[in-house]
Amino acid sequence: MKLSQQTLPDFLTRDKPYEIYDSDNYLVLDFETTNLDKGSAIHRGNRLLLTTYLSGRDEHLREDLLPVRHAWGDEFSQKELVEACYAADFLVAQNAKFELQWLSRMGVETHRLCVYDTMLGEYVRLGNRRGAKDLDSLCERYGVPTKNSLVKHLINGGVCPSDIPERWLEEYGIGDTRNTHQVFLRQREELRQLNLLPVLFTRCLATVVLADIEMQGVHADAKATKDEYESCKRQYDEAEARVHQVTGGINLNSPKQVAEFLYDKEGFAELLDRRTGEPDRTDAGGRRTDEDAICSLEAATDRQREVLQAFLAAKPLYKKLDSLTKLLGAVKEDDGIIYGNINQAVTQTHRTSSSGKKWKLQFQNFDRDLKPLFSSRHSGWLVGEADGSGLEFRGAGHLGNDSKIISDIREGVDPHLFSASVIYKTSESKVSKSQRTAAKAHTFKPLFGGMSGTEDEVRYYKAFRKKYHELYDAQTAWTYEVLRTGKLVTEWGLIFYWPDTKMSRSGYISNTTNIFNYPIQSFCTAEIIPISLVYFWHRARRLGLRLFLVNTVHDSIIAELPPDEEDIFRELSEKAFTEDVYSFLWRNYGIKMRIPLGCETKVGTHWGKGSERKYNREPEYGPETGDQQQDAGPMAGASEGIRT
């Protein structure tokens, strides 16, 4: 199928698309709802009570005198609001995902909408700095006067808005709408001065898609879940019995009891912080008893080895059994459908994070061996996954303009063979499959500033920095820039701040690991993947496909699809992860990719299962505009392969 620009909304195809925010044809929204699960539209027990909205098109009036319209009633009583949404160039809201999901319940075609989220605007302004992003805090920061609202106190105290007098609630909604408008106007100007509107535009494009994904939920296969639960329960019972035999019956779920047993009774030495030499403790000051810490303990006696073996057999099984218990609950109570939040304003690198709803399962933290338990909710349908091939390695190659990384990607060099050959002191041609697998955990550690480990690992890290010295030189230059100015302005405009950066007498610069890491992780998983996600979703909606997205995990997207849409799923993915990224990066940021991007698609009955196809495409730009060539077919210049 020929995928043209006609399968995209105008705000995705124009040059400098972020300039849509210069328009005064916007609509400011605020909704009041009942308060189950914080009023989420996903909870079908909630109902819409009141909508308040303000149009920026009344230019003959002062901004503080623009009329705020309101409409009482449920989602089926909002005809004028729906028409106003379609007529605006973009919508403005504080935490826009909330309003978008209610608009979806109204029947609004959200793929026609562009938004400006003031919460995300503050997140973008802050960069990696911590700071409040709620509306009251934004009003204080931007000098917007607010009133001490009794309604706000009632709602925060758990009173349902449906029990609050209508006149009070109406005044409250109108006030929040005016405040959001004032914050938007002042924030927009500051972000314009900081050249951050392009970054915010990308974040807000993703918001519309994430709002839809959250409403879909993911589906756990009933039989697969029950079978895996029973198998894991048997294994855990055996492992737990062994731990009880070794320990005398301590509670494995009590960090205090585990710490006292391991460190006080059995005499294990605590792990030390490599930089300070002090014991590596939890944030609360407790001795570490997590799985990673126990894996790192060193056994000096046969007794200690016996203890470690017992703990290491039980710990991962306990974690897995906990997840399976929740999955099984969802199967029994909710037909296997699990909902969660995909959060955009939490991490310091700006990649998304997740938090669970009813079942407390995080969408972006499912263990790899649990993924095959997820299937489509529709009989006979498939699950498709698309991810960016070696994305952070490629992103690092671009940001560091490293000619060796670029040539390795183009020539299909396997970086894990290199790490294994150095760590195990052999030639790449003689690296075994098991050695390659073991080395994968170390391959990209130096990419993010990793320098410590065993003697063999440290030797590899040095070899990596030597082989890809142009990247290392670029990362070192970032570090000295931060040491000099306290901040780093990235190629796409996002600003990272480390004002406390200092050089020690030994020459070590504090924050080096984060300075090496954040730009690469952010560029790949907060820019490239959201762009891919957005383009895939919009094309699928415009084409009227039945498939729908159910999750995104850092470098991938996951969909449920009917069998007859497998080919178009792969084609959409390949275009979205390569051509569309090249085009958008150029038009929104003025960035020309220096390195080919790739996409791997896998389609089967369950997540992570089925046939796999790999695709790479070189960036191509027109000689005059620099824009991505659009006349070539989606497979032009590509290399691909399928394997089962």
Alpha-carbon gap, residue 129 to 121, rounded angstroms: 13
- In this prediction, residues 475-489 reach a mean pLDDT of 97
Tell me which amino acid residue 22 is.
Answer: D
400: tokens are: 């560091």
Evaluated on CA atoms 356, 359, 363, 369, the torsion sign reads positive
Mean pLDDT of 44-70: 82
63: pLDDT confidence band, cut at 50, 70 and 90?
low
Exposure of 195 in the CB half-sphere (CA atoms within 13 A):
10
User: Over 80: is that where the pLDDT of 7 sits?
Assistant: no
Specify the pLDDT at position 3.
61
The confidence score (pLDDT) of residue 643 equals 35
Q: In the structure, what pLDDT confidence band is assigned to residue 59 with cuts at 50, 70 and 90?
A: low
Average pLDDT, stretch 374-397? Answer: 97
Q: What confidence tens digit (pLDDT) does each residue in 558-587 have?
A: 999 999 999 999 999 999 999 999 999 999
**36 CB-contact burial (10 Å; exposed 0-12 / middle 13-18 / buried 19+):** middle
Nearest 5°: the CA angle 48, 51, 54 is 160
**CATH T-level assignment (fold) for domain 221-335:** Taq DNA Polymerase; Chain T, domain 4 (1.20.1060)
Q: For 325-360, what is each residue's pLDDT tens digit?
A: 999 999 999 999 999 999 999 999 999 999 999 999
- 3-state secondary structure (DSSP) of residue 383: strand
Q: What is the pLDDT of residue 5?
A: 60
pLDDT-derived band at 316, boundaries 50, 70, 90: confident
Torsion of CA 540, 391, 344, 128, to 10 degrees: -150
Asked if the domains at 1-215 and 221-335 fall in one CATH topology, the answer is: no
Other C-beta atoms closer than 10 Å to the C-beta of 201 total 26
Reported as a single tens digit per residue, the pLDDT across 168-227 is: 999 999 999 999 999 999 999 999 999 999 999 999 999 999 999 999 999 999 999 999
Return the amino acid letter for 590: G
Q: CA angle at residue 120 from 119 to 121, to 5 degrees?
A: 90
pLDDT over threshold 90, residue 284: no
pLDDT at 61 over 80: no
Task: Look at 12-21, 308-317, 621-630 and tell me which has the smallest mean pLDDT.
Answer: 621-630
Please state which of the four CATH numbers 3.30.70.370, 1.10.8.640, 3.40.50.10070, 3.30.360.10 is assigned to the domain occupying 340-392+517-644.
3.30.70.370
Q: How confident is the model at residue 296 (pLDDT cuts 50, 70, 90)?
A: confident
Angle formed by the axes of helices 391-399 and 403-411, nearest 10°: 140
In what side-by-side order are the strands of the sheet with 68-72?
68-72, 48-55, 26-33, 90-93, 115-117
CATH number, domain 393-516:
1.10.150
Q: What is the pTM of this model?
A: 0.91
The percentage of residues in the chain with a pLDDT greater than 90, rounded to a whole number, is 80
Q: What is the pLDDT of residues 225-265, one digit of tens each?
A: 999 999 999 999 999 999 999 998 888 888 999 999 999 99
Query: What is the fold, at CATH topology level, of the domain defined by 1-215?
Result: Nucleotidyltransferase; domain 5 (3.30.420)
Tell me the domain boundaries of the chain: 1-215, 221-335, 340-392+517-644, 393-516
* Distances in whole angstroms, Cα of residue 229 to Cα of each of 243, 317, 499: 20, 11, 49
The arithmetic mean of pLDDT across residues 382-407, rounded, is 96
Q: Are 486 and 498 in contact (CB under 8 A)?
A: yes
Token representation of residue 156: 């925060």
Question: Lowest mean pLDDT: which of 57-71, 88-102, 304-318, 433-447?
Answer: 57-71
Least confident range of 297-301, 352-356, 382-386, 393-397: 297-301
The pLDDT tens digits of the residues spanning 123-172 come to: 999 999 999 999 999 999 999 998 878 999 999 999 999 999 999 999 99
**Is the CB of residue 404 less than 8 Å from the CB of residue 470?**
yes
Q: Give the chain's mean pLDDT.
A: 92
Whole-number pLDDT of residue 110 = 97
Strand (E) positions, 58-157? Answer: 68-72, 90-93, 115-117
Range scoring the smallest mean pLDDT among 23-37, 86-100, 159-173, 363-377: 363-377
Share of the chain above pLDDT 70, in %: 94
